[in-house]
């Protein structure tokens, strides 16, 4: 029922966009074609018995955009086929699509819709989906996925925001996502999450943030479906969480914050008095989390604030062992763009939960940083580099598992013609799985990519 409601909302939104386009906008279309030759020394991401291969991937895609301040949409799609030189049984399709729609009902009230779809067998394909503004619109999966098994993911958000002052706003948001796996090695899941929040500054130097969230997790075959990757049953659950944060400025840009967050999770199996099988850790046990934190923040502009702090959590586990400890808290997404070079830094840290991924490990303490840079040596020749690091501490896992995922990348590109680009890059992926060494892996890969795309979008109408 909820999926049909969301689909109806998306259809209505596109109708509104079409009407606005017909009246006073321009529709832009950008086609593209890409051929990638990739060498990997570990295509299955295994610790031992590594298998290397050359993979050729031709793709075709497009971006359809209706830019506008009051109403607009963007639709991007890329589809391709992977040809394996030695292991042709792995030949497969891949699809990637992103749709966005926005509409300003008034100067103060705005609706944003986003939908991200992925179909692939690449175990590292499910990364953060980022829009043109550099904002993550669909979170990635950094848990352990190996082998080449087809899976597909869809993640949709609808957010209504109302501004009632220079820095005061409220929002209501709804999220629906699902993950489907062709292999029984991993478990299918759905997430349903409505939330509301408010930011209010009662003076220039003091303000408050409030947030409330409900999360429903559903798993294939209902209660007691088994995730055979680690032998742990994953149960449907309900979760309610709330957050309150007090902000105190010392200047126009600098300030401190005090925050308190509380989480309550209840599993259906426990609620019904069912016995949880195969849980050497504390998965599927009801719990309450109390998490105060303090820190500092820096406001680059009215729409961009970075924060850094530290907190302490206490997890009260029903019929289990309570957990407690410190945790970092951080948030930044900043682009520095200059004439010859640019760099974007994204970072986040705090308490989360891995519930809709390859490994449903539950309550998690995490930290992540993603740095992307580019330098233009000439108008046609450029270099680029990126570095991704993810720390995941699975607090309720059976063996106190901690993952460190590291992924640096470096490349060179050359614009042969205004419509043709060639890029050569090297990528290293490393997973260090503490207390679970059989899941460690390292991969070296080299990619040569040729892209054909017009330097300016085609105007279908004005």
Q: What is the pLDDT of residues 258-311, one digit of tens each?
A: 999 999 999 988 654 454 444 445 667 899 999 999 999 998 877 788 999 999
* pLDDT confidence of residue 443: 96
Q: Bridge partners of 437?
A: none
CA–CA separation, 414 and 376 (whole Å): 10
* pLDDT confidence of residue 183: 87
Q: Residues 337-389: pLDDT tens digits? A: 998 999 999 999 999 999 999 888 889 999 999 999 999 999 999 999 999 99
* pLDDT confidence of residue 360: 86
54 within 8 A of 88, measured Cβ to Cβ: no
Range ranked top by mean pLDDT from 93-102, 140-149, 437-446: 93-102
Q: Bridge partners of 99?
A: 75, 115
pLDDT over 70 (residue 188): yes
pLDDT band with cut points at 50, 70 and 90 for residue 222? very low
pTM of the model: 0.88
User: Which value, to the nearest 10 degrees, does the dihedral of the CA atoms of residues 308, 309, 310, 316 take?
Assistant: -90
* pLDDT confidence of residue 117: 97
CA–CA separation, 43 and 122 (whole Å): 9
Phi–psi pair at 324, nearest 5 degrees: -155, 160
pLDDT over 60 (residue 36): yes
The token pair at 34 is 């890409």
pLDDT band with cut points at 50, 70 and 90 for residue 165? confident
Over residues 161-167, mean pLDDT: 92
Where are any strands of DSSP class E within 274-322? 287-301, 304-317
Range ranked top by mean pLDDT from 16-30, 103-117, 137-151: 103-117
CA–CA separation, 93 and 439 (whole Å): 26
The b-or-e profile of 311-340 (16+ CB within 10 A means b, else e) is: bebebebeebeebeeebbbbbbbeeeeeee
The alpha-carbon radius of gyration of the chain (Å, integer) is 23
CA–CA separation, 299 and 303 (whole Å): 8
């Amino acid at each position: 029922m909820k999926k049909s409601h969301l689909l109806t909302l998306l259809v209505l939104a596109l109708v509104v966009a079409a009407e606005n386009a017909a009246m006073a906008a321009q529709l832009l279309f950008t086609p593209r074609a890409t051929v990638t030759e990739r060498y990997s020394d570990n295509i299955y991401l295994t610790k031992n018995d590594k298998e290397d291969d050359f993979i050729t991937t031709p793709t075709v895609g497009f971006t359809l955009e209706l830019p506008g301040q009051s109403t607009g949409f963007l639709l991007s799609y890329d589809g391709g086929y992977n040809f394996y030189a030695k292991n042709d049984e792995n030949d497969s399709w891949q699809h990637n699509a992103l749709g966005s729609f926005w509409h300003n009902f008034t100067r103060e009230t705005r609706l944003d819709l986003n939908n991200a779809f992925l179909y692939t067998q690449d175990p590292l394909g499910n990364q953060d989906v980022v829009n043109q503004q550099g904002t993550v619109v669909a979170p990635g999966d950094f848990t352990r996925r190996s082998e080449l098994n087809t899976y597909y993911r869809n993640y949709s958000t609808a957010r209504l925001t109302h501004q009632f002052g220079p820095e005061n706003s409220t929002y209501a948001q709804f999220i629906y996502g699902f993950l489907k796996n062709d292999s029984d090695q991993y478990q299918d899941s759905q997430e349903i999450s409505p939330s509301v929040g408010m930011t209010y500054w009662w003076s220039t130097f003091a303000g408050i943030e409030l947030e409330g969230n409900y999360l429903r997790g559903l798993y294939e075959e209902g209660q007691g479906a088994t995730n055979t990757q680690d032998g742990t049953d994953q149960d449907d659950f309900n979760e309610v969480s709330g957050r309150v944060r007090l902000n105190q400025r010392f200047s126009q840009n600098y300030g401190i914050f005090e925050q308190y967050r509380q989480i309550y999770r209840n599993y259906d199996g426990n609620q019904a008095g069912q016995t949880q099988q195969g849980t050497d850790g504390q998965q599927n046990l009801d719990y309450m989390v109390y998490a105060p934190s303090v820190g500092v923040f820096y406001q680059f502009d009215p729409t961009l604030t970075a924060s850094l702090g530290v907190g302490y959590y206490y997890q009260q586990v029903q019929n289990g062992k309570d957990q407690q400890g410190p945790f970092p808290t951080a948030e930044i997404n900043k682009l520095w763009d200059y004439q010859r070079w640019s760099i974007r830094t994204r970072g986040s840290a705090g308490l989360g939960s891995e519930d809709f991924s390859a490994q449903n490990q539950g309550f998690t303490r995490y930290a992540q940083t993603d740095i992307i840079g580019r330098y233009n040596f000439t108008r046609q020749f450029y270099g680029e580099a990126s570095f991704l690091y993810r720390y995941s501490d699975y607090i309720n896992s059976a063996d106190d598992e901690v993952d460190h995922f590291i992924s640096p990348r470096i490349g060179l590109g050359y614009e042969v013609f205004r419509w043709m680009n060639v890029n050569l890059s090297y990528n290293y992926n490393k997973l260090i799985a503490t207390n679970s060494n059989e899941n460690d892996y390292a991969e070296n890969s080299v990619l040569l990519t040729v892209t054909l795309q017009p330097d300016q979008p085609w105007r279908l109408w004005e």
